[in-house]
Amino acid sequence: MAVDLDRCTACGACTVACAQENNVALGNPDRPDQLIRWMEILPAERGKYPEVSARLAPSPCQHCDREPPCARVCPVYATYRNVEGLIPQIYEQCIGCRYCVNACPYTCKHFNWSRPEFPAPFERGLNPDVSVRNAGVMEKCNFCYHRLQVVRDTAAQEGREPKLGEYRTACQESCPTKAIRFGDLDGELEGVRENERAFTLLEDLGLMPKVIYLKEKTS
């Protein structure tokens, strides 16, 4: 995934699209600290008044390519790096120890502190492709993995290979400025890594996140 921070306007469409697509818990107003949103806009203010600037970066799970810290410490294989290089979360396998998120330098995983409730008729708006989680398990962005499955199934039915750009995430789809792009680094996102503006979060930890940011242009 590539996020062009020069185009991003922090409108939050990605956050809401992601929540809607992935049946994310609504949240409890009494416990805002237990809110779950897989895609978040991280605000970071720099400098002193009046020379202040802010970076507003949409931030999903970073899908570390090299030894994801969460998968390293998981005691039960609930999270791991799969053959596609994505880091899924298996809700039925998770025991809810929360070691993964404490080991994650990005803290980009979420815990279901209580059972996600969708008071009727909210449940009619749930995406049938995605399960609703139980209380006590971790969850996080999985790059809309269910969409990859749909793309594969469709392609298989039609007897072809999945097309370039066919697998799109909900955040990418909703982004009004097309700041979020998604795909293979040697396919849809060719050349992104070589872009002079490219950087990743906490680069020095060497985790090689698959979310690549393009920093704001200066001119």
Site for another protein in 133-172 (CB under 8 A): 134-138, 170
Binding residue for another protein, selected from 1, 89, 148, 178, defined by CB under 8 A: 178
Provide, rounded to whole angstroms, the least separation between the CB of residue 137 and another protein: 6
The answer to whether residue 27 forms part of the interface with another protein (CB under 8 A) is: yes
CA angle 77, 80, 85 (to 5 degrees): 160
Return phi, psi of residue 16, to 5°: -75, -40
Interaction mask 96-135, another protein, x per CB under 8 A? xxxx-xxx-xxxx-xxxxxx---xxxxxxxxxxx-xx-xx
* Stretch near another protein under the rule CB under 8 A, chosen from 14-22, 154-162, 183-191, 192-200: 14-22
Token pair, residue 163, equals: 């097309």
Looking at the Cβ atoms of 134 and 149, the one nearer to another protein is: 134
CB atoms closer than 10 angstroms to residue 24: 24
Provide, rounded to whole angstroms, the least separation between the CB of residue 184 and another protein: 21
CB burial of 164-196 (b: ≥16 within 10 Å; e: otherwise) equals: eebbbbbbbebbeeebbbbbebeebbeebeeee
Provide, rounded to whole angstroms, the least separation between the CB of residue 38 and another protein: 10
Provide, rounded to whole angstroms, the least separation between the CB of residue 144 and another protein: 11
Cis-peptide, bond into residue 121, ω within 30° of zero:
yes
Burial class (CB in 10 A: 0-12, 13-18, 19+), 100: buried
Interaction mask 51-90, another protein, x per CB under 8 A? -xxxxx--x---------x--xxxxxx-------------
Token pair, residue 29, equals: 């107003």
Provide, rounded to whole angstroms, the least separation between the CB of residue 195 and another protein: 14
Looking at the Cβ atoms of 35 and 155, the one nearer to another protein is: 35
Provide, rounded to whole angstroms, the least separation between the CB of residue 199 and another protein: 14
Looking at the Cβ atoms of 6 and 188, the one nearer to another protein is: 6
- Only one residue has tokens 């971790």, namely 138
If you ran DSSP here, which 8-state letter would residue 6 be given?
T
